[in-house]
Amino acid sequence: MSDTNGQVVERYLECLAAHDWDGLADTIAEEGLTREGPFCDQIEGKARYLAYLRKVITNIGGHRLTVQRVSHVASGLSFAELTEEFEIDGAPAQWPECIVFERGVDGLISRVSVFFKQPGSSPAN
């Protein structure tokens, strides 16, 4: 898959929102994929990452994803600002986040880095 302007990132996000794991699999690199999470956790490899997403997202009640914007900032580098919504103990919750995507020469996503904003936190004085 050739990708010069990052359309694969939009496709990844559409598939993630729809819980379309096969479609999402088509957007990420077969070899060398790394996912860095907001808690400094790391997942290596396409199969492990897909298994992780399936497990986490399908076990979260009411999961929804709303994309505010996708920015393609350099060749092979994009970020998406989005909000994930879900239920915790039956109550709705929202997490604003930013995901940084790196794409390889084949245009497929090779690195995913997830950053959360902290709702309800106060800025440092």
Assigned domain for 51 exists: yes
CATH code at position 51: 3.10.450.50
Assigned domain for 92 exists: yes
pLDDT of 65: 94
Residues of the chain with pLDDT under 70: 1-6, 119, 121, 123-125
Assigned domain for 26 exists: yes
How many whole angstroms separate alpha carbon 103 and alpha carbon 42?
18
Assigned domain for 72 exists: yes
How many whole angstroms separate alpha carbon 75 and alpha carbon 9?
13
This prediction has a pTM of 0.88
Which secondary structure element, helix H or strand E, spans residue 54, and what is its range?
helix 46-58
Domain count, the chain: 1
CA-wise closest residue to 60 among 99, 86, 82: 86
pLDDT of 1: 41
Close Cβ partners of 6 (under 8 Å, ≥ 6 residues apart)? 70, 72, 78, 101, 103
Assigned domain for 103 exists: yes
Assigned domain for 121 exists: no
pLDDT of 6: 67
Q: Tell me: the pLDDT tens digits for 58-67?
A: 888 889 999 9
Q: Domain range for residue 46?
A: 7-116
pLDDT of 125: 66
Rg over CA atoms, the chain: 15
pLDDT of 3: 45
- The tokens for 36 are 């860095």
E strands, the chain, are 34-36, 42-44, 64-74, 77-88, 91-103, 109-116
